[in-house]
Amino acid sequence: MRTLPRSFYTRNTLIVAKELLGKILVRKIGKSQLAGIIVETEAYLHNDPASHSYRGITERTKVMFGNGGHLYVYFTYGMHHCANIVTQKEGRGEAVLLRAVEPIDGIDVMMKNRSGRNEINNDRHLSDTGHLKNLTNGPAKLAQSFGLSRNESGTDLLENKIYLTEGIAVPKSQIISTTRIGINVATEKKWRFYIKGNVCVSKP
């Protein structure tokens, strides 16, 4: 499937955040391929007090100020990583946090990354309807499943290691827009987007 072009990313961040829903995140590691349909995102803008870029360029956030179409991974809470897609043109400092994906390929590797075990039918990762749930339904979980850490921060999504492709069409009526999670400022902005009814969306 076709890799999304640079021009997909270098646009209005709120539009990109919505259009990322339904796209497929792919990572190649050795012989394995990990893939998941993006089902939940959050936008972080340049004049947004909740954004890491709000106070300007730092060593950590310089990737956010690079050109759109790069990966920005940061470390938080002393034990978690979160993955973002940089948007807009160079110098802007905007990104979209990937909050949840629905696993479609490399599920055994994801389970291994998450739990150290390699069991396809590990109940821990199944919902009561038998769907995968605890694997990638949260920003730190998805980063862990895909093995993303600060080593991957700055990766160009137009190279063939980590990239996005066209996935499923998501009708506008299926996109829910609501407030972001885990922040104490700009809490009124409805910049979290998810696909209505998807089992892999994070809880709140």
Q: Give me the residues that bind DNA (CB under 7 A), please.
A: 42, 44, 50-53, 55, 58-61, 64, 72, 74-80, 82, 84, 95, 97, 114, 134, 138-141, 150, 180-184, 202
Q: How far is the CB of 151 from DNA (least distance, A)?
A: 11
| Closest CB to DNA among residues 2, 55 | 55
Looking at the Cβ atoms of 60 and 89, the one nearer to DNA is 60
Burial class (CB in 10 A: 0-12, 13-18, 19+), 175: middle
Which tokens hold the place of 186? Answer: 């700009």
What is the smallest separation between the CB atom of 12 and DNA, expressed in angstroms?
A: 17
Nearest to DNA of 31, 188 (CB atom): 188
Exposed/middle/buried for residue 86 (C-beta within 10 Å: 0-12, 13-18, 19+): buried
Residue 27 or 114: which CB sits closer to DNA?
Answer: 114
Which token pair is 133? 């749930």
Give 35 or 110: the residue with its C-beta nearer to DNA: 110
Closest by CA to 3, choosing from 26, 19, 20, is 26
Nearest distance, CB of residue 4 and DNA, angstroms: 19
Q: How far is the CB of 100 from DNA (least distance, A)?
A: 8
Amino acid (one-letter) located at 187:
T
* Burial class of 149 by CB neighbour count within 10 A (0 to 12, 13 to 18, 19+): middle
In the complex, the smallest distance separating the C-beta of residue 101 from DNA, rounded to whole angstroms, is 11
